[in-house]
Amino acid sequence: MAENAGTRAQIIDAANRLFYVKGFEHTSFAAIAETVGISRGNFYHHFKSKDEILGAVIESRLRSTRAMLAEWDQEEPGPAERVRRFVEIVITNGTDIQNFGCPVGTLTNELAKLGHPARAQAVSVFDLFRTWLRTQFEELGFAVEADVLAMHVLAFSQGVATVSNAFHDGEFVQREVDRLHAWLDERLAHGPAPRSAH
């Protein structure tokens, strides 16, 4: 039972990476088995189907994303710094993003094209970031615009990821990060939009 959880976790970790690097459909059971170092037939003792592995991978991503956001909540002094921390992901994970794009965006799109039922589950990772970003902007006083701003930051990261993946241009990423930081500065300087009169 102890080894069970270990093998299961190893499968999820290997599948998580492979789904990102090679795509979900292009990742075969044989590739995951080879990575983990177990036999192909052994999978079905841990997962009933490939879709079930996908579900476990997405849940794993949800957990690690939640943990990362909670860590940022603790480490960063305020909401503005937290948003900046998010923006900097495209630099922190620069190499992976250049090679494979954004893990969330690319998986969501692949599942959309496959018509896969787990698409909605994959989008929920996006929702995690969206809600978290919205909370930061709300704490900054943007009660009405918070979600709009959150979506804008999300779109920024996806745009940078896709173009970075296409052109392999690190300077472009840095420029766009600087640009968004400047945009955020300006937004914070002008303050939130006035509430509608009661």
Partner DNA sequence: CAGGAGCTAGGACGATTGTCCTAGCGAGGG
Partner DNA sequence: CCCTCGCTAGGACAATCGTCCTAGCTCCTG
Q: Which residues bind DNA (CB under 7 A)?
A: 1, 3-5, 7, 27-31, 37-46, 48-51
How far lies 57's CA from each of 93, 143, 177, in Å?
19, 34, 29
Give yes or no for a contact between 65 and 129, defined as CB atoms under 8 angstroms apart. yes
Minimum gap (Å) between residue 188 Cβ and its own copies:
17
Using the Cα atoms of residue 125, residue 161, residue 140 and residue 66 in order, give the sign of their dihedral.
positive
Indicate whether 110 belongs to the interface with its own copies (CB under 8 A).
yes
Instruction: Give residues 29-88 in contact with its own copies (rule: CB under 8 A).
Output: none
105 binds, among DNA, its own copies, none (CB under 5 to 8 A by kind): its own copies
Q: Which of 105, 138, 184, 187 binds its own copies (CB under 8 A)?
A: 105
How far is Cα 109 from Cα 111, in angstroms, rounded to an integer? Answer: 5
Nearer CB in complex with DNA: 28/92: 28
Indicate whether 26 belongs to the interface with its own copies (CB under 8 A).
yes
Contact residues toward its own copies (CB under 8 A) are 21-23, 25-26, 99-102, 105-106, 108-110, 112-114, 123, 126, 148, 151-152, 154-160, 162-163, 165-167, 169, 172, 175-176, 179
